Amino acid sequence: MGDDLTAAGTTARDLTAEVIGRLDHCPDPRLRELVTGLIRHLHAFALEESLTEAEWMAGIRFLTEVGEMCSDQRQEFMLLSDTLGLSMLVDQINHGSRGSATESTVLGPFYVEGSPWRINGDAITDDFGAQPLLVSGHVRDTAGRPLVDATVDVWQNATNRLYAVQDGGQSPENLRGRFRTSADGAFSFRTVRPVDYPIPDDGPVGRMLEATGRHSWRPAHIHFIVSADGCIPITTHVFDSASAFLDSDAVFGVKGSLVRKLAAHDAAAETAPAGIQGSWYTVDIDIVLQPDP
């Protein structure tokens, strides 16, 4: 459509310029820059796609439904950002060059602040299911120095594919915990092997995925937020290498460096750790933080 007239004597380009011009007195320079860019790209999108009134109204209804789906237990806008790849794009913009530091990935919509403090070696669940998992690791800086008293905040889903925040049948503290690293930067905890799960698909984001021929599955993973004095915090995952969805994560969060093979152990051949019966799995993780300049 280009410069087609939007009103007598007024082109689309004129209209965009007028809307942006109304921001001249915005007192916050960064806000003015962001809103200007948003207006410019929204107008360009509408022109490029020759957006019809029906399509525009469908978009309005969709975003309205996304907002109506949000609650203290569910963040549908975060889910929309994740599934459109915007969350990972923002992650790459802000953390794309980390050198030898552990790579970051999406926060996801199920993080809850204030997980219980636990002691290294503790279990973060009362139900190990058929596949207990022992997680151990160290937190270091990029020079290889162990980081003492670093905070390791972890959360994951249960074997029913739900996080505690989604499931009234789970304790609110199930499969969540915060740990402090020891003098050598070590941490450890006992849990259950995470499973692949679909993101919530009973709302507008789920309908968007279905309409565009996409699935809603995420590969099995454990979430980590790791922080230490003098370092840049990291939000990351550890992915199970056995997952079938590593190459098609619904939120584009997989990075090769975050994939780990979980080692299998058999009680018939080895002495099981305390509280574990039968077979179990282990994984050891190094998390490297970048010093804050």
282 in Cβ contact with 133 (< 8 Å): yes
The pLDDT confidence band at residue 4, using thresholds 50, 70 and 90, is low
Handedness of CA 266, 270, 271, 273 (dihedral sign): negative
The pLDDT confidence band at residue 293, using thresholds 50, 70 and 90, is confident
Please give the pLDDT value at position 1: 44
pLDDT digits (tens, 9 = 90+) for 218-237: 999 999 999 999 999 999 99
For the segment 231-246, the average pLDDT, to the nearest whole number, is: 97
The model carries a pTM of 0.90
Shortest CA distance to 226 belongs to which of 132, 290, 134?
A: 290
Q: Across the chain, what does the average pLDDT equal? A: 93
Share of the chain above pLDDT 70, in %: 96
Please give the pLDDT value at position 9: 58
Shortest CA distance to 64 belongs to which of 204, 267, 192?
A: 204
For the segment 161-173, the average pLDDT, to the nearest whole number, is: 94
Q: Check whether 275 has a pLDDT greater than 80.
A: no
For the segment 275-293, the average pLDDT, to the nearest whole number, is: 91
Please give the pLDDT value at position 19: 96
Domain boundaries, the chain: 5-51, 81-289
For the segment 157-167, the average pLDDT, to the nearest whole number, is: 94
For the segment 18-43, the average pLDDT, to the nearest whole number, is: 97
pLDDT digits (tens, 9 = 90+) for 31-74: 999 999 999 999 999 999 999 999 999 999 999 999 999 998 88
Q: Which has more confidence, 118 or 9? A: 118
Q: Check whether 2 has a pLDDT greater than 90.
A: no
Please give the pLDDT value at position 49: 97
Indicate the fold that domain 81-289 takes in CATH. Answer: Protocatechuate 3,4-Dioxygenase, subunit A (2.60.130)
Which are the contacts of 245, defined by CB distance < 8 A and separation ≥ 6? 196, 215, 217, 218, 219
Share of the chain above pLDDT 90, in %: 86
